[in-house]
Amino acid sequence: MAIPEVVLSSTSPATGSRAIPVLGMGTGLVHFTPEQRPATKHAILRAIELGYRHFDTAAIYQSEDVLGEAIAEALQAGLIHSRAELFITSKIWCADAHRDLVVPAIRESLRNLKLDYLDLYLIHWPMRLKTGESYPPIESHHILPFDLKSVWEGMEECHRLGLAKDIGVSNFTTWKLAELLRYAKVPPAAVQVVEMNPTWQQKKLREFCKEKGVHVIAYSPLGGQDMFMGKNLVMESQVLKDIAKAKGKTVAQVSLRWVYEQGASMIVKTLNKERIEENMKIFDWELSEEDKHKISQLPQCKRVTLRSMLSTEAAAKLPDEDENAWEKIVGIPSRRQRLA
């Protein structure tokens, strides 16, 4: 079965209407090591063979070159006839979130991927680090004030140069998106949220994006990886287990189907060939109204937070229960300051 696509409504007239496959494969593994490279490339090739056309990577994942090798091999083997059949997303890391480093950063990603352009290029986090500082945990003295306007100008230059067909953001809240939309000459085509699933439903963000024509791409649609503390609330949900059993599906399939029925795309990460295929089998059935009501009543819990990105020292500086904690540490004006 072919994976459905959704047209990106914020696409600029220069590039025309572009469609994004609603199911994509992620390549951001926890602590990616050289030993994982062969298995990752094999999984990507298997996914292409099965019909996946959307692949997600990022500079910080260290998987861009592996994805590039897999694309080249897929072309050589005839699994795809041209690069244009694929939708490739990558992201700029926080250490390159400086106006003069944005274009060099995408050029480096393209060199790694051995591609001429990206279909979608995202600001990975609304955060700026000192040049050269990379993977979390992040120390507070590495964090610099984040000038979103100037960084977005760099993203728009990537779009103008044809290096990125579309541009967008990742891990942005509703009000950060609203701030960006005030001055963006090229509006973000998509926001990739770090977490959207039945136990963290992102209703406010989804409603805002629908109103503004920004497509939502769900990350961690199955509840997230073990790098973030706590159990997997999606896979251990009794409500989802009961729905899955009644429908003869897996809990993962129920969760993915729920995301799809919200109008979002999704990125799923697995190297298991059976699960790669299983994840595609969500398009020929539906959740009932009763199923959807039960899911809407699930307790909500956000697993991926600013605190999880920071070192113990930096996290200790965040007040508990402070809605403006992120803004205080990265130097973005708080909502109260902006309205003053």
Q: Which residues are catalytic?
A: 61
CB-facing half-sphere around the CA of 107: CA atoms within 13 A: 8
Contact present, 29 and 285 (Cβ < 8 Å): no
Identity at 62, one-letter amino acid code: Q
**In a 3-state reduction of DSSP, which class is residue 82?**
coil
Cα–Cα distance, 197 to 239 (Å, whole number)? 14
Q: State the angle between helix axes of 148-160 and 102-113 in degrees (0 to 180), rounded to the nearest 10.
A: 50
Contact present, 85 and 54 (Cβ < 8 Å): no
Kindly calculate the radius of gyration of the chain based on its CA atoms and give it in whole angstroms.
Answer: 19
Contacts of 10 (CB under 8 A, 6+ apart): 166, 187, 188, 189, 190, 213, 214, 215
Cα–Cα distance, 217 to 246 (Å, whole number)? 28
Structure-token pair, residue 227: 């790098």
H-run or E-run covering 131: none
Q: How many CB atoms lie within 10 A of CB 228?
A: 18
